Chain A
Amino acid sequence: QKEVEQNSGPLSVPEGAIASLNCTYSDRGSQSFFWYRQYSGKSPELIMFIYSNGDKEDGRFTAQLNKASQYVSLLIRDSQPSDSATYLCAVLHGSSNTGKLIFGQGTTLQVKP
């Protein structure tokens, strides 16, 4: 079992729809969770981070965390073609003071005009 799992996709949604990206993790002690966006040939760009159970909203993005189910998701409302990219879920490994992020393989999102 991989430590952080994502469906590689592609996930295809029409412009204006809600895109839902999901991620599960294996380390029940994980405390910090991050979503990065990566355009083809570019480096990862931080979009959201979440530490507590529940929802966290920032503009069109909402991160959702359920530690009991070991599940993190990212919702993108009013999806735009410019949102087409690979979305990487990352989980901080081990103790709260470590610096090691464990990444999923990413989900490719395609937003069709």
Chain B
Amino acid sequence: DTGVSQDPRHKITKRGQNVTFRCDPISEHNRLYWYRQTLGQGPEFLTYFQNEAQLEKSRLLSDRFSAERPKGSFSTLEIQRTEQGDSAMYLCASSHPGGGQPQHFGDGTRLSIL
């Protein structure tokens, strides 16, 4: 049972550039979640999918952010026109369906904006 896989592990980019992150969930999990974590804080919810349907989006997910899960397997999170405040760890998690199921996190993608 392989865990949640995220790619890349680190991304350094200049302000104004677009970035895309990928997440591959645990194979039998049909729910996939994205969170963002900044230093000294707990993760903040961004969005989640059940299969290919995006069921909830946070107000944190501005129009510069978009997430997809086109075939209900892997997911991508894109940030357009990056800003300094986007620097954070972006975490992906997956779980079995249904509320209350434990979410298992990947290693995260650390984004640094120059």
Residues of A within 8 A of B (CB): 4, 8, 31-32, 34, 36, 42-46, 49, 51, 88, 90, 92-93, 95-106
The residues of A that contact B31 with a CB separation of less than 8 Å are: 99
Cβ contact within 8 Å between A105 and B40: yes
Is B21 engaged at the interface, CB distance under 8 Å to the other chain? no
Chain B interface residue count: which class?
20 to 34
Residues of B within 8 A of A (CB): 31, 33, 35, 40-45, 48, 50, 55-56, 58, 89, 91, 95, 98-100, 102-108
Cβ contact within 8 Å between A42 and B56: no
Number of A-B contacts (CB under 8 A): 67
Known A-B contacts A43-B107, A99-B55, A100-B48; the reply to A106 vs B102 at CB < 8 A is no
Chain B residue at smallest Cβ distance from A104: B42
Cβ contact within 8 Å between B105 and A103: no
Cβ contact within 8 Å between A46 and B55: no
The residues of A that contact B102 with a CB separation of less than 8 Å are: 34, 46, 49
Cβ contact within 8 Å between B100 and A90: no
The residues of B that contact A43 with a CB separation of less than 8 Å are: 89, 91, 105-108
Lowest 3 A-B CB distances belong to which pairs? Answer: A103-B42, A32-B100, A97-B99
The residues of B that contact A45 with a CB separation of less than 8 Å are: 105
